[in-house]
Amino acid sequence: MKLETLPIGPYEENIYILHEDGHVLIIDPGRSAAEIRKHISPQETVDGIVLTHGHSDHTGAVDDLAEALHCPVYMHHGDLPLTDPSYRLAAGAPVYTELKDLPAGDLQIGTFTLQIYHTPGHSPGSILVRYRNHLFAGDTLFAGSIGRTDLFGGDEGEMFASLQFIKTLPHDLAVYPGHGPASTIARELKWNPYLQF
């Protein structure tokens, strides 16, 4: 497996590209579809695009990529108000591509077997995406911090519950957040002040 991290845009949102035996999964394509496509070989098949949540800095390249790559896009239904073109919310932006629901549980996307954990708090539909020993945390968990809860749909109580769940995950999981450097569950349990209570 090969994992590429592309921090693109003014918020340096981490776009992740998973390569596995000629297949690709894209996580949180925030912007610059053309740059993302440079990292995908013509010989590779893109099995899908997964969104950890619906904020615009994580969804900005979805429509262009879906049209160019002819692949499905997945997002938890809790964040549909952030992407539905009939809404105009400050934290979101319209996505015109059909979004397939991404409920909690096991999910097969092409050749990728994923575990999806619903972790609301930063947004109603925030999720963690686990592939093998890799945990893509979106804006729920950062190295040394957590996502904001003061945006549309954010909720401190739900974030607290999500953090309690995160504390039960295997300590050796590598954590890849939506912004900033990678970490591990063990490191965050030791150093992240939001996981100390």
Model pLDDT for residues 114-170, shown as the tens digit of each residue? 999 999 999 999 999 999 999 999 999 999 999 999 998 999 999 999 999 999 999
Those residues with Cβ within 8 angstroms of residue 190's Cβ, 6 or more apart along the chain or in another chain:
none
Those residues with Cβ within 8 angstroms of residue 146's Cβ, 6 or more apart along the chain or in another chain:
121, 122, 140, 159, 163, 192, 194
pLDDT band at 10 (very low <50, low <70, confident <90, very high): confident
Question: What confidence score (pLDDT) does residue 138 get?
Answer: 98
Q: What is the mean pLDDT of the chain?
A: 95
Model pLDDT for residues 60-92, shown as the tens digit of each residue? 999 999 999 999 999 999 999 999 988 766 667
The per-residue DSSP string of 42-55 comes to: TT-EEEEEE-SS--
Residue showing tokens 């999500």: 162
Question: What confidence score (pLDDT) does residue 169 get?
Answer: 98
- Which residue type, as a one-letter code, is found at position 72? P
Question: What confidence score (pLDDT) does residue 88 get?
Answer: 64
- How many other C-beta atoms lie within 10 A of the C-beta of residue 197? 8
Residue showing tokens 């629901």: 101
Over residues 39-63, mean pLDDT:
97
Could you give the percent of the chain with pLDDT greater than 90? 90
Over residues 87-104, mean pLDDT:
86
Nearest-angstrom CA–CA distance, 39 and 126: 26
Nearest-angstrom CA–CA distance, 141 and 178: 8
Q: Are 79 and 126 in contact (CB under 8 A)?
A: yes
Query: Which two tokens mark 48?
Result: 């899908």
Taken in order of first residue, the domains within the chain and their CATH numbers are 2-195 (3.60.15.10)
Closest CA to 33 of 53, 49, 47: 49
